[in-house]
Amino acid sequence: MGEKYLTINEMNIHYIDEGEGPNMLLLHGWGQNTVMMREIQETFSSAFRVINIDFPGFGKSDPPKEAWSVSDYEKFLKNFLQLLNMQKVIIVAHSFGGRVAIKLASDSPELVDKLILTGAAGIRAKVNLKAKIRTYFYKLGKFYLQKSGQLAKLERYQNSRGSADYKAAKGIMKPTLVKVVNEDLLPLLPHIVCDTLLVWGELDQAVPLWMGEKMAKLIPHATLIVFAKQDHFAYWHEAKRFNNVIQSFLGGNK
């Protein structure tokens, strides 16, 4: 297996480089790493040059030195592709990786040949009044603990209200997650001009199916395929089926 490291902005970045042919880039989800994309890598490296990367802050890659936004990850990825002399890539992205892929495909269409998104995050759900009130009081409590210097209580308070991803995040990745999830990429979707395949789990709770349906409507050349009775990790649970769908989308090439 072609495990490699590359230094970008003083960060040691881990990735796997396998196969020869058209360029394929695999982008994992939040809290994941190259392992989650390995079956895709092994399937397509017989006919593609497959790059399977650990995003900064995940797997064997160093974390960023400050809290990053989706735009920061996009800039990093463009730099990474340039250093590897990769253009017109086929991107396969899950969840958080989908955020970065959406940003790249909309901002730099010349870099993306085809886009395959599964359980891709990026659309912010509408918040009802009750949730807005809870958020208001949460921020009020957070502000008080910050101003009074009760940092230990502040950390416990934040962890008690945060998502599983937030609780699991360490160091700079906590504020990075906050910046990432607060970006709404909905306005970017109509600017994605490449052929796009969307694969969703019918029972996805992290990124509900209605978000995939919304993306299918707003991305000009998008096709949505739903895996019945599957969750946010449909691509992982039904890896062989997922890879077959990709092969069909790419014209039957393997």
- Looking from the CA of 4 toward its CB, the CA atoms found within 13 Å total 13
pLDDT in tens, 100-111: 999 999 999 999
Backbone dihedral region of 85: left (phi > 0), alpha (psi from -120 to 50 degrees) or beta?
A: left
pLDDT at 169 over 80: no
pLDDT band of 87, cuts 50, 70, 90? confident
CA atoms 226, 228, 229, 234: torsion sign: negative
Unique residue bearing structure tokens 């029972």? 203
Predicted TM-score of the model (pTM): 0.86
pLDDT in tens, 223-246: 999 999 999 999 999 999 999 999
Unique residue bearing structure tokens 């490699």? 4
In sequence order, which residues have a C-beta less than 8 Å from that of residue 5 and are 6 or more positions away?
Answer: 12, 13, 14, 15
pLDDT band of 140, cuts 50, 70, 90? very low
In sequence order, which residues have a C-beta less than 8 Å from that of residue 143 and are 6 or more positions away?
Answer: none
Q: What are the angstrom distances between the C-alpha of 147 and each of 111, 142, 143?
A: 46, 9, 6
Burial, 169: exposed, middle or buried (Cβ in 10 Å; 0-12, 13-18, 19+)? buried
Residue 155 is predicted with a pLDDT of 58
